[in-house]
Amino acid sequence: MTQKKFFGTDGIRGRVGVSPITADFMLKLGWASGKVFSEKSEGRKLIIVGKDTRVSGYMFESAIQAGLIAAGVDVALLGPMPTPAIAYLTRTFRAQAGIVISASHNPFYDNGIKFFGADGFKLSDAVQKSIESYLDKPLITEDPSKLGKAFRVEDAAGRYIEFCKGTLPPGANLEGLKIVVDCANGATYHTGPMVFRELGATVIELAVEPDGFNINEKCGSTQPAILQNAVLKQKADMGIAFDGDGDRVMFVDHKGHLIDGDELIFVIAKHRHQNGGCTGVAGTLMSNLGMEKSLNALKIPFVRTQVGDRHVIEALRDRKWKLGGESSGHIVCSDLTTTGDAIVAALQVLYAMRDTSTPLNTLKKEMQKYPQSMINVPIKGDFNLKNYPLIINAINEAENELKEKGRILLRPSGTEPLVRIMVEGEELHLVEKIAKRVAGVVEAEAKKSCRDL
């Protein structure tokens, strides 16, 4: 099977201005995707396009729009909207596809492209390869009589807000709750707080003033310190943090403790299990061992997939399960939507609290997390871990030291030039010691590799 040239674990992503994240490439990508999706439709050809709040989104929105129009496709422009909103609106508009211009939790100087098919799910490898095959062909503009048109959807945010609220059972509300919401100066800045407020909560907003450059800057789900401090200062019931494009969520309880994706998945799973509605949970290689053991204690089946919410969704679809996700906060409730949706997942956690009249701090204690240490080591070029005997030896030594009481995982990031080293075990000091030791070996080999290039 041929390797994909541009698509990674979650679309195409990189530094703005560095190939392929350039205006000319996005023009060609718009045309290529327009041609592929046009082949699948004999009637009206429509693709919707949304983006997050980073400044380069203006440039890439225009380039992709031009490419799609050249391919004979109409374009519905949503403006800044969460990634899962594009998945939802692709279905409601009966479009051939949805395109998201976003680099998720990355800094403003990165950007990328994600695709959803007509069914609201991320694209298969086969469709991604079809798009890449058109990228190798010359861009040929359709006859002027067949060119597409573009229009802006003025009520996109309102449609999505109503959808999110509708994922709760009839009559459910958030009245009496005081919530701090951190929107990472990203795509949820105008939808997230509104959903919780319209459901009756008192909402204190953080990071809701995007300027094109401050997305994910010292805020959001990857940097929750500002939220933790605000929850304590405001004496709030909890805090909720989204990432830049609204597909990740983290919580902070009323004591200021961070609650990650694994713990949130467990809270949702247990609540659904108590109501007879949890057939199984899909996690990833990075999911905490404590979540797996806690689910097993409840006799809830659990399976691990490769990292990436696309793999989680595939596992859910294969098994007809309804819940899965990642420790990073990607949480998929596939009975409610087709992709990881931070607002929808947050509402499921809040509903579990209200339905059981139990504080989040108590609910999450029922899952005992194993200590983890994660270290990212920068790399350059093609860095195959299997080609470095010293790294393999370091991994083997770590596994012997941890035995059955923990595990070690090394994997290249699918979105950044990094090797991620994760060590997990019962004893924190041992976990940290092993992680630092292995990271040192990887760093030394990576530097040596750079010198050899």
Identify the pLDDT of residue 318.
96
The percentage of the chain sitting over the pLDDT mark of 70, rounded to a whole number, equals 98
Q: Do domains 260-369 and 372-452 have the same CATH topology?
A: no
For 414-441, what is the mean pLDDT?
Answer: 91
Fold of the CATH domain 260-369: Alpha-D-Glucose-1,6-Bisphosphate; Chain A, domain 3 (3.40.120)
Predicted structure pTM score: 0.91
Q: What is the pLDDT of residues 61-118, one digit of tens each?
A: 999 999 999 999 999 999 999 999 999 999 999 999 999 999 999 999 999 999 999 9
Q: What is the pLDDT of residues 260-291, one digit of tens each?
A: 999 999 999 999 999 998 999 999 999 999 99
Q: What is the pLDDT of residues 222-253, one digit of tens each?
A: 999 999 999 999 999 999 999 999 999 999 99
Q: Which residues are catalytic?
A: 104
Identify the pLDDT of residue 256.
97
Identify the pLDDT of residue 83.
98
pLDDT level of residue 307 (50, 70, 90 thresholds): confident
Identify the pLDDT of residue 129.
95
**SS3 annotation, the chain:** CCCCCCCECCEEEEECCCCCCCHHHHHHHHHHHHHHHHCCCCCCCEEEEEECCCCHHHHHHHHHHHHHHHCCCEEEEEEECCHHHHHHHHHHCCCCEEEEECCCCCCCCEEEEEEEECCCCECCHHHHHHHHHHHCCCCCCCCHHHCCCEEECCCHHHHHHHHHHCCCCCCCCCCCCEEEEECCCCCCCCCHHHHHHHCCCEEEEECCCCCCCCCCCCCCCCCCHHHHHHHHHHCCCEEEEECCCCCCEEEEECCCCEECHHHHHHHHHHHHHHCCCCCCEEEECCCCHHHHHHHHHCCCCEEEECCCHHHHHHHHHHHCCCEEECCCCCEEECCCCCCCCHHHHHHHHHHHHHHHCCCHHHHHHCCCCCCEEEEEEECCCCCCHHHCHHHHHHHHHHHHHHHHHEEEEEEECCCCCEEEEEEEECCHHHHHHHHHHHHHHHHHHHHHHHHHC
Looking at the predicted structure, is the pLDDT value of residue 450 above 70?
no
Sign of the Cα pseudo-torsion (64, 67, 71, 76, in order): positive
Looking at the predicted structure, is the pLDDT value of residue 308 above 90?
no
Fold of the CATH domain 177-259: Alpha-D-Glucose-1,6-Bisphosphate; Chain A, domain 3 (3.40.120)
Identify the CATH class of 12-155.
alpha beta
The percentage of the chain sitting over the pLDDT mark of 90, rounded to a whole number, equals 88
Identify the pLDDT of residue 309.
87
Identify the pLDDT of residue 405.
82
pLDDT level of residue 411 (50, 70, 90 thresholds): confident
Identify the pLDDT of residue 2.
60
Q: What is the pLDDT of residues 12-23, one digit of tens each?
A: 999 999 999 999
Instruction: Report domain extents, the chain.
Output: 12-155, 177-259, 260-369, 372-452
Identify the pLDDT of residue 452.
57
Lowest mean pLDDT among 42-51, 98-107, 263-272, 342-351: 42-51
Q: What is the pLDDT of residues 160-170, one digit of tens each?
A: 999 999 999 99
Identify the pLDDT of residue 1.
46
CATH of 372-452, one of 3.30.310.50, 3.30.420.40, 3.40.190.80, 3.40.50.2000: 3.30.310.50
In angstroms, the CA 50 to CA 52 distance is: 7
Write out the two tokens for 399: 């596994």
Identify the pLDDT of residue 447.
85
For 26-34, what is the mean pLDDT?
Answer: 98
Q: What is the pLDDT of residues 360-397, one digit of tens each?
A: 999 999 898 999 999 999 988 778 888 899 999 999 99
Identify the pLDDT of residue 316.
97
